[in-house]
Amino acid sequence: MDDHPMGDANGEMSAVHDNYEEEIQISQKDLDTFLTSVESRLRTAFSPLDLTKIISAQALSSQTLPDGSPSSPARYLRLVSRVFDRMVKPIKLRCLISLMGLEPDADKAASGGVASIGALGAPSDANGDGVDSHSDGRPKNELNRVVWKILTDASEGDDDEWVRTVAGVVRGRMFRHSPASEAGKARESCRGRDTDSLFRRTTESILKHVATAAAEAAEGYSTAESKVLPDSDDESEKAKSDERKRADEEDRARLLDSYMIEGDAASLFGPYGAGLLSPDDLRETAPEAFENAHFAPLPKEASILKEDMAMERSKAEEEQREMEQQERLKKLAAEREAKAGVAAKRAGALGGPG
């Protein structure tokens, strides 16, 4: 994002309030419909980009809000900020991530100005006065103001620590101090209050889990190795030929390579050492892998193979319903305008001469 002053060195920042934004008058029913529409876009993993595309598309003149009024990226995000607290945690997180995909000119067509949403670009002068932020750190650009409000409110007031953390990190990636500010403080004011502690706890938990699993795996492997290694005092071992001994060593190596997969009743991968083998060689090296349901071929009619198609069909139906809803809203708006025009003509006729 473009660089913006972010407040003092202690990271204190005034939240962006609606007192300098155009208030959008919308009924609770339309607001509920809008929330449902946003949530439907963010129900699956890796879906934030879908919302990003929708936000960017609001710059088109044909786009309208649920109440039938003209839309824009900034106006659309104002409604998102009004329903954000009602979203569940996964939807909130995906919504925050979607903000990072906004293009620099996402609001240009709608506002007539130069939007400054973008990744680490040069400071822009969206207002023509050489200053890109207010004295309290709020961005002047309309779209930036709304993005800043959503991220600030989420990072400072949400009940969930992960929502606060992700909002702080996203804000830190999208906004920075101007070059005239202290370079060393460029990120501090963007970090949520729980960010460092949460990341530290999460990282330590992952490392501890990996270390424990590695220790258990090493112990199990050592036990298996001691069971398959030949007894040096065994006379039968001494009597074997060199060729037979090499064959036995190869067999033991294959057994040890397949040990970890034997310890998992529902493994997902073959042994690491056999990762580059062809399926036929892997079948010979670790036949037990092919007895697992994860490695068995699925029938063409298996439901799991149809999930993507069903998801695409559901998304297409949802888009069709939204388009029909927008058309109905446009018709209602046109009818209201027509009725208002007729009423105005009647009022003029009644108040005219005679």
Using CB atoms within 10 A of its CB, is residue 188 exposed (0-12), middle (13-18) or buried (19+)? middle
**At 140, is the pLDDT very low, low, confident or very high (cuts 50, 70, 90)?**
low
* Every domain of the chain and the residues it spans: 18-193, 200-295, 303-346
> What is the model's pLDDT at position 83?
93
Tokens of 143: 């779209």
CB contact set of 138 (below 8 Å; sequence gap of 6+):
14, 16, 145, 148
Q: What is the overall mean pLDDT for the chain?
A: 71
> What is the model's pLDDT at position 178?
54
Indicate the range of 26-30, 55-59, 118-122, 230-234 predicted with least confidence: 118-122
Indicate the range of 191-195, 198-202, 321-325 predicted with least confidence: 191-195
Which stretch of DSSP H or E encloses residue 11?
A: none
> What is the model's pLDDT at position 85?
92
**At 353, is the pLDDT very low, low, confident or very high (cuts 50, 70, 90)?**
low
Mean of pLDDT values over 258-271: 49
Tokens of 101: 């995909």
Please give the model's pTM, rounded to 2 decimal places.
0.51
Q: Report whether 65 contacts 79 (CB < 8 A).
A: yes
Segment 34-49, tens digit of pLDDT: 899 899 888 888 888 8
CB contact set of 261 (below 8 Å; sequence gap of 6+):
267, 269, 270, 271, 286, 288, 289
* Secondary structure of 107-165 in HEC code, one letter for each residue: CHHHHCCCCCCCCCCCCCCCCCCCCCECCCCCECCHHHHHHHHHHHHHHHHCCCHHHHH
**At 12, is the pLDDT very low, low, confident or very high (cuts 50, 70, 90)?**
very low
> What is the model's pLDDT at position 88?
92
For residue 293, is pLDDT > 60? Answer: no
Q: Output 170 or 111, whichever has higher pLDDT.
A: 170
Q: Output 264 or 140, whichever has higher pLDDT.
A: 140
> What is the model's pLDDT at position 298?
62
> What is the model's pLDDT at position 232?
59
For residue 220, is pLDDT > 80? Answer: no
> What is the model's pLDDT at position 204?
92
For residue 184, is pLDDT > 60? Answer: no
Indicate the range of 27-31, 85-89, 146-150, 220-224 predicted with least confidence: 220-224
